[in-house]
């Protein structure tokens, strides 16, 4: 007498047939069992891979001057297109762009089209203020 590997209920084996390991629970026991017991991915890397990653990391570290290793502001400035003074021309023009949008909002009426335009412009202003443009 054999028992289902998942739920433990008894399985009637048919003589002359391959022995069954799971009960006839519409395949649920078999699926659940393999989900719990499936072989896990090996959690290791080859020593040579580890060595090459460490070497690459140490190589990167060695070209960064010691004083700047935790100062990433210059990278952020570069990404935002700022020069050494920390000023980006687009950022200088932000207030005027926001004023332009706000001026347009004041001219808009109460029509549904005007309301939609207003929402759009308010979104643009929010984006500008959050530095997303």
Q: 25, 14 in Cβ contact below 8 A?
A: no
Find all residues with CB under 8 Å of 61, minimum gap 6, and list them. 69
Shortest Å, Cβ 35 to Zn ion = 13
- In the list 4, 121, 125, 128, the residue contacting Zn ion (rule: CB under 5 A) is 4
Shortest Å, Cβ 25 to Zn ion = 5
23/9 Cα distance (integer angstroms): 7
Residue 2's DSSP bridge partners are: 11
Which two three-digit tokens encode residue 93? 């023009």
Which of residues 7 and 45 has its CB atom nearest to Zn ion in the complex? 7
Shortest Å, Cβ 16 to Zn ion = 23
- In the list 25, 77, 88, 124, the residue contacting Zn ion (rule: CB under 5 A) is 25
Q: Interface residues with Zn ion (CB under 5 A)?
A: 4, 6-7, 23, 25, 29
């Amino acid at each position: 007498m054999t028992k289902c590997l998942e739920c433990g209920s008894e399985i009637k084996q048919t003589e002359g047939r391959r022995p069954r390991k799971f009960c006839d629970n519409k395949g649920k026991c078999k699926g659940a069992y393999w989900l719990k017991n499936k072989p896990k991915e090996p959690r290791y890397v080859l020593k040579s891979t580890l060595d090459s990653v460490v070497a690459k990391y140490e190589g990167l570290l060695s070209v960064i001057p010691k004083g700047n290793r935790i100062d990433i502001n210059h990278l952020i400035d570069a990404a935002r297109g700022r020069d050494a003074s920390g000023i980006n021309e687009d950022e200088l023009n932000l207030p005027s762009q926001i004023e332009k949008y706000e001026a347009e909002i004041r001219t808009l009426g109460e029509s549904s089209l005007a309301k939609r335009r207003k929402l759009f412009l308010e979104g643009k202003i929010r984006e500008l203020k959050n530095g997303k443009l």
